[in-house]
Amino acid sequence: MGSMSIWHWLIVLVVVMLVFGTKKIGNMGSDIGKAVKGFKDGVKGEDESATPPATPAPPPQVAADKSTIDVDVKEKSKS
């Protein structure tokens, strides 16, 4: 009764699959993977934000003609 053999683990696996189903187990696995990745990115992000950037930000671009205004135009779609 000390350690669990491979047969014990197989029986537990079969029971879990019967209770939850393979689709739900797959969804839980992918959700856990996304959570772990988000946690790693969050920890890595804290380390990067503590250090100053290596290169200074480039200066803003200055237009040659001061009276010109640069805008983005969006076209309306006809429905």
Per residue in 2-22, pLDDT (tens digit) is 677 899 989 998 998 888 887
Closest to 35 (Cα-Cα) out of 21, 43, 50: 43
User: Which tokens go with 22?
Assistant: 């393979």
User: What tokens appear for 69 in the block?
Assistant: 């205004």
Q: In this structure, what DSSP letter does residue 66 have?
A: T
DSSP character at residue 35: H
Q: What is the pTM of this model?
A: 0.38
pLDDT tens for each residue of 19-74? 888 788 888 888 999 999 999 988 887 655 555 556 766 666 665 666 767 677 77
